[in-house]
Amino acid sequence: MHLFQYREGSLFAEDVSIIDLASTYGTPLYVYSAGTLERHYRAFDSAFGKAAHLTCFSVKACSNIHILKLLGSLGAGVDIVSGGELHRALLAGIPGRRIVYSGVGKRPDEIRSALEADILMFNVESLQELRTIEEVAASMGTTARVSLRINPDVDPHTHPYISTGLQKNKFGIEMTQALEGYMLARDLPHIDPIGIDCHIGSQLTSLSPFLEALDKVLEFREHLSILGLDISYLDLGGGLGITYGEETPPHPRDFGRAVLERTKGLNLTLVLEPGRVIAGNAGILVTEVLYTKTTPSKQFVIVDAAMNDLVRPSLYASYHRIAEVLPHGRTEQTVDVVGPICESGDFLARDRVLPAVEQGELLAVFSAGAYGFSMSSQYNSRPRAAEVLVRGDTAKSIRRRETYDDLTALEG
């Protein structure tokens, strides 16, 4: 459920007209709904009821500090994967004890910054990383809380680029080596192994891969308990899918019910890392039609948003619903919606059936709140889009549009 709805034939974000926003802030433009973000966060977090848990929003999905502040005010923690994301989280006022640090390539300086912030724990991805964390913690005279990320070799049945739980993926530690890792962690003087972590992928539309991985991790935790390791945190990662088109992903309450049933009585604090399921349908990308073009084999709608603004269609061949901001009821036609980038792979949609549009009209690209702006770039020296956050009848600029001077500001 989201708060982008048509009123009297025109698209609104909550109580603000998208036409008015485009007139004020220009296009391409990312528009987020604060009410939708709050609704999605509460729907996910409440699915775990009174059980001990921490919902850590995945910063990589949507990293604007205004959105992190909003979620933090609701009690959210964050899952980070870089020193830059740590910087953002701290600027947004997220307490260190509500931060978990994932990712396969943490640098020593990033580890040091995280220890200085007293984060809850590192999700460790390799034994070499574990030893590096020990070295940094020892040099600081402190102890690092860690969780080892288990690779359960479970197929999440999602796009291969966002699958993370198979043995061929770069993420996590294979079970046998993970056991060695926990024995090492137990003996390292500046390491405190408090958790176990498992994240198998993104945009999952079935609970069965989650539960298969969870069963393997709980069995592994029981083995650690026999060996004298008391694991008190279970990090299940994120990955719950959303509806882009025809998908029917499970509701967070069904996910929560299934997880709580399996972990009941185990004296565990659950850590969840949702990103897409909170932010995905809370944002749209607004773009203006620059030209229409017909060739002997194709009809093109050329818009001012491109793969540098929203790379998912080009990178993953992903589907985003596209609709007129002000529908005119014209005859439908099959078109490619493309941008100005000098790449044949620059498209927002291919062979899409849309009503005929004209130069100067606005289109909305839905489900763009996750991995939209956060994956954008300045390719072709295109300034990045502006971001606006709407609450009720009020719109707030949360990131101004970049200028040409911004493109060269670091090259002096």
Residues annotated within a binding site for pyridoxal 5'-phosphate: 239, 273-276, 371
Could you identify the residue written with the tokens 């890792």? 181
Query: How far apart are the C-alpha atoms of 272 and 53, rounded to whole Å?
Result: 8
Picking from 26, 4, 94, the residue whose alpha carbon sits closest to that of residue 387 is 26
Positions marked catalytic: 342
Residues whose CB falls within 8 Å of the CB of residue 82, separated by 6 or more in sequence, listed in order: 103, 110
The dihedrals phi and psi of 353, each to the nearest 5 degrees, come to -85, 115
Which residue positions form the known binding site?
Answer: 239, 273-276, 312, 316, 343, 371
Encoded tokens for 11:
């698209």
User: Does residue 30 contact residue 398 with C-beta atoms inside 8 Å?
Assistant: no
Query: How far apart are the C-alpha atoms of 148 and 150, rounded to whole Å?
Result: 6
Q: Biggest alpha carbon distance in the chain?
A: 71
Picking from 82, 134, 85, the residue whose alpha carbon sits closest to that of residue 103 is 82
Query: How far apart are the C-alpha atoms of 114 and 121, rounded to whole Å?
Result: 9
Q: Mark 283-319 as b/e (b = at least 16 C-beta within 10 Å).
A: bbbbbbbbebeeeeeeeebbbbbbbbbbbbbbeeebb
User: Does residue 400 contact residue 25 with C-beta atoms inside 8 Å?
Assistant: no
Distance from chain centroid for Cα 218: 26
